[in-house]
Chains A and B, each alone.
Chain A
Amino acid sequence: MKKLSARRRHPLAALVVLLLALAATGGLYAAFAPAEKAQADTSAQSLAIDEGKKLFAVGCSSCHGLNGQGTSDGPSLVGVGSAAVDFQVGTGRMPAQQPGAQVPRKKVIYSQSEIDQLAAFVASLGPGPVVPKPEQYNPSTDPAKNAADISKGGELFRTNCAQCHNFAGQGGALTNGKYAPSLEGVDPKHIYEAMQTGPQNMPSFPDTTMPEEQKRQIVAFVRHTENDEPNPGGLTLGSLGPVTEGLFGWIFGLGVLIVVAIWVAAHTTKAKKS
């Protein structure tokens, strides 16, 4: 260190610094030059972040703080990643309306581009799960591969998801009024993001323990169950198991039979006395 500080005053020092600076600039330029578009992207990205920040200040900051640092009303968003924002705002859960056991899914009030801007801003606060690309959650175009995905996804679903969301993704009760929501009509992207980020009380299933491919398989199974799976036996009765079956059996089984029994046992109408 001493040597370095002694040479700082060397006549050639300025030249060395200049050369180093030039080399660094050139190197940096070389590193970024091939991605001219990326630069444009970066600027678009920073524009999105700026827009997102404005939206955030209006819609989110009262609970999460101006810089997403969190307040007593809402958790910190540093490090939750863009996937969390896309899920929470994209399913209408955020902005939350009222306190309760759980924030429900409701009407989405931001457009997708606004959601992307918000996501970009929150992602800029700290690294976190990124919004998945369509190829990460879309079903395989190869039918045989897709069929295999569905069956593998079903097995994964029964191990990881069915305990809360029910065997057919109809949702179920948790403690003290909380619940696992139904997966019916949920965008595959949002299902994927929920597994990535673990919204509210749902645990997360990060790529380290559930690889991307398996998440895609689970999404394939859920999509198949919700959209493509026929109900060969007739009405599914909500796919809720024996409780609704029992109700149906009492009302439309025994109930109808009792009506029939009333007809069988009733006296036939008498003709008017003539």
Chain B
Amino acid sequence: MSTTSGTSTGATTPSSTRAKPASKWEAAADWTDGRLGIYSLAKANLRKIFPDHWSFMLGEICLYTFIIIILTGVYLTLFFKPSMAETVYTGSYVPLDGIRMSEAYASTMNISFEVRGGLLIRQIHHWAAIVFVAAMLVHMMRVFFTGAFRKPREINWLFGAGLLFLGMFDGFMGYSLPDDLLSGTGIRFMEGAILAVPIVGTYLEMFLYGGEFPGQDIVPRFFTIHVLLIPGIMLGLLVAHLILVFYHKHTQFAGPGRKEENVVGMPLMPVYMAKAGGFFFLVFGVIAAVSAIATVNPIWSYGPYRPDQVSTDAQPDWYMGFSEGLIRVMPGWEISVWGGHTLNLGVFIPLMVFPLVLAVIWLYPFLEAWVTGDKREHHIADRPRNAPVRTAFGAAWISLYLVLLIGGGNDLIATHLHLSINSITYFVRVSFFLLPVIVFIITKRWCLGLQRRDKEKVLHGRESGVIKRLPHGEFVEVHADLSQADKFTLTAHEQPQPIELPAEVDENGVARKVGRLAKARAKLSEGFFGDSGQIAKPTAEEHAEITSGHGHH
């Protein structure tokens, strides 16, 4: 359509070949299409189909909280002064009257106590950030456990990973800006962490802080990174992420009529425009109400930052909690290397393990793809039970993450459960290595059990709860046959077979060299899809045998 109008504008005749628009709206749309080509764009997308499932909306929570953060963040920049210049507080908050503080802290006090609605916007900004990162993590877990990261979505998985990583750091920098006693302690921690980097640590520290800690530069520099650099990159990644979601079309769960080759759901216009658009307002409304109800980051209670003061309960926001756990439970190893140089392993090892914890889960999809050797596209989301090794791996990762969160909050757990901080630390040290293994084994067996139950249900039907007495006195429970739809759904998943190594000796009797990598791959494949990795699906023959043989039907 746009091409015809394009050629016609080049013609000498003033009139277009296009039919006369029926209304003013159509005329406006025609005008826009002539310049932007909106009709072709809309043709592909206006009735775009989205499948209905609550877990598919987790990503939207992330998107909407991100928008909320940007809106409220822009408002906050109108009042916030990113300066570490000293000033004496004279505002309306009595307990800090006459106290020395930085302009950054004073202006945050001003936003909280003098600007009407400023406190609300601050709290919306902060609560939205807390929910944003939480939603990203849960969204990532949904994608992980349903195998929605498989081809063609691997790159989008990495975009999402990048968003989570940047979101965590932008959050850290954001709550560091007010220069209060709590966040200042966090910036001090960062100084120590940077100093622990071998060889270049002191240089990095001097360059980042503009001299010795705390200097005058860190808050303004964080401000620029927090409001400009990271959000800019995130916005780019976000757009790319969304474009790919549209381009790939959404995954869907198996069900009658739902195939790899289609996507079943409701159209964007009008249903998802209303649902997704409405969901933005729902998310914003909930966050606004939460911000009316609960305080977040009461910087006035913390007081301004001074390097010689501290309050207990010195924790980062939750998304940095697992790194806090790593730091807290690490033994104090410090060694001398290269003739008198100090290597602070007590800080450096956690610093290196921190990205590793995340990298492990982000790289898993590529390990799985290598093991399966599967080059096909996958659009049907797995039920977690049907991929026991993957599910067990994910659960083990979550247990690791949770145990580190416990480590990060060990002091509060100690006081609230009347435990010793030292015992909790020892517990976390052991659990860090042991718990993921235990959780892996339990989860895998659990999945296999659920697979067995599915098989049982398909073959014998569902327990109806009706007890029947047979003529000879035996009591049996009547099993109701599943509907065709349920039978299909429960057997729709694929069951890959483990790859087999080529024979040691080829057909000509020549010894074949099988690389160590190939052997490892075969071993892993056996673990994934061998007898211990999955329960064989019911076959048509098994079904026929049971339904014809005997039946409680």
A contacting B, Cβ–Cβ less than 8 Å: yes
- A126 contacts chain B at the CB level, 8 A cutoff: no
Evaluate contact between B415 and A221: CB separation under 8 angstroms: no
- A180 contacts chain B at the CB level, 8 A cutoff: yes
Distance between Cα atoms of A7 and B420 in the complex (Å): 75
Shortest B122–chain A CB gap in Å is 8
- The interface residues of chain A, by DSSP majority, are classed as helix
A253 and B315 in contact, given A150-B95, A176-B422 (Cβ under 8 angstroms): no
User: Closest A-chain residue to B276, C-beta based?
Assistant: A264
Evaluate contact between B303 and A235: CB separation under 8 angstroms: no
- A66 contacts chain B at the CB level, 8 A cutoff: no
Please count the residue pairs between chain A and chain B whose beta carbons lie under 8 angstroms apart in the complex.
209
Evaluate contact between A148 and B298: CB separation under 8 angstroms: no
- A202 contacts chain B at the CB level, 8 A cutoff: no
| Contact among A147, A243, A260 for B318, CB-based, below 8 A | A243
Shortest B476–chain A CB gap in Å is 32
- B98 contacts chain A at the CB level, 8 A cutoff: yes
| Contact among B317, B321, B411 for A172, CB-based, below 8 A | B411
- B94 contacts chain A at the CB level, 8 A cutoff: yes
Evaluate contact between B312 and A231: CB separation under 8 angstroms: no
Report B-chain residues with C-beta under 8 Å of the C-beta of A266. 52, 54
- A38 contacts chain B at the CB level, 8 A cutoff: no
User: Closest A-chain residue to B283, C-beta based?
Assistant: A257
Report A-chain residues with C-beta under 8 Å of the C-beta of B293. 234-235
- B229 contacts chain A at the CB level, 8 A cutoff: no
- A232 contacts chain B at the CB level, 8 A cutoff: yes
- B148 contacts chain A at the CB level, 8 A cutoff: no
| Contact among A172, A179, A234, A252 for B313, CB-based, below 8 A | A172
Q: Which of B131-139, B193-201, B532-540 contacts A (4 or more CB under 8 A)?
A: B131-139
User: Closest B-chain residue to A101, C-beta based?
Assistant: B420
Evaluate contact between B287 and A151: CB separation under 8 angstroms: no
Evaluate contact between A267 and B298: CB separation under 8 angstroms: no
Report B-chain residues with C-beta under 8 Å of the C-beta of A235. 293-295
- A262 contacts chain B at the CB level, 8 A cutoff: yes
User: Closest A-chain residue to B123, C-beta based?
Assistant: A233
The 8 A CB mask of B274-316 against A (1 = contact, 0 = none) is 0100110011001100111111111001110010111111111
- The interface residues of chain B, by DSSP majority, are classed as helix
Distance between Cα atoms of A240 and B60 in the complex (Å): 31
Distance between Cα atoms of A159 and B414 in the complex (Å): 24
Which of B406-434 touch A at CB < 8 Å?
A: 409-412, 414-415, 418-423
The 8 A CB mask of A18-39 against B (1 = contact, 0 = none) is 0000000000000000000000
Interface size on A, residues (CB 8 A): 63
- A51 contacts chain B at the CB level, 8 A cutoff: no
Shortest B533–chain A CB gap in Å is 31
Distance between Cα atoms of A147 and B95 in the complex (Å): 7
Scoring A171, A225, A237, A265 by chain B CB atoms within 10 A of each residue's CB, the highest score goes to: A265
A242 and B316 in contact, given A162-B309, A179-B415, A231-B295 (Cβ under 8 angstroms): yes
Distance between Cα atoms of A205 and B278 in the complex (Å): 59
Shortest B420–chain A CB gap in Å is 4
A264 and B412 in contact, given A162-B312, A166-B313, A168-B301 (Cβ under 8 angstroms): no
Shortest A240–chain B CB gap in Å is 5
Which of B161-220 touch A at CB < 8 Å?
A: 181-182
| Contact among B95, B290, B422 for A221, CB-based, below 8 A | B95
A150 and B94 in contact, given A172-B411, A173-B415, A245-B130 (Cβ under 8 angstroms): yes
- A127 contacts chain B at the CB level, 8 A cutoff: no
- B243 contacts chain A at the CB level, 8 A cutoff: no
- A113 contacts chain B at the CB level, 8 A cutoff: no
| Contact among B294, B311, B423 for A167, CB-based, below 8 A | B311
Evaluate contact between B292 and A253: CB separation under 8 angstroms: no
Evaluate contact between A265 and B97: CB separation under 8 angstroms: no
Report B-chain residues with C-beta under 8 Å of the C-beta of A176. 420-422
Shortest A174–chain B CB gap in Å is 8
Distance between Cα atoms of A22 and B409 in the complex (Å): 74
Report B-chain residues with C-beta under 8 Å of the C-beta of A240. 313, 412
User: Closest B-chain residue to A151, C-beta based?
Assistant: B97
User: Closest B-chain residue to A241, C-beta based?
Assistant: B313
Evaluate contact between A173 and B181: CB separation under 8 angstroms: no
User: Closest B-chain residue to A181, C-beta based?
Assistant: B415
Distance between Cα atoms of A225 and B409 in the complex (Å): 24
Which of A201-243 touch B at CB < 8 Å?
A: 221, 224-225, 229, 231-237, 239-243
Evaluate contact between B61 and A261: CB separation under 8 angstroms: yes
Report B-chain residues with C-beta under 8 Å of the C-beta of A164. 312
| Contact among A231, A239, A261 for B58, CB-based, below 8 A | A261
27 A-B pairs in the complex with CB atoms less than 8 angstroms apart: A150-B94, A151-B96, A154-B95, A158-B303, A167-B302, A167-B313, A168-B301, A170-B313, A171-B415, A177-B419, A177-B423, A225-B95, A231-B298, A236-B295, A239-B298, A240-B313, A242-B321, A243-B313, A243-B315, A243-B412, A245-B294, A248-B294, A249-B131, A250-B318, A252-B294, A254-B61, A258-B54
Instruction: List 8 tightest A-B contacts by C-beta distance, closest first.
Output: A246-B318, A172-B312, A233-B295, A249-B130, A177-B420, A167-B311, A261-B57, A173-B411
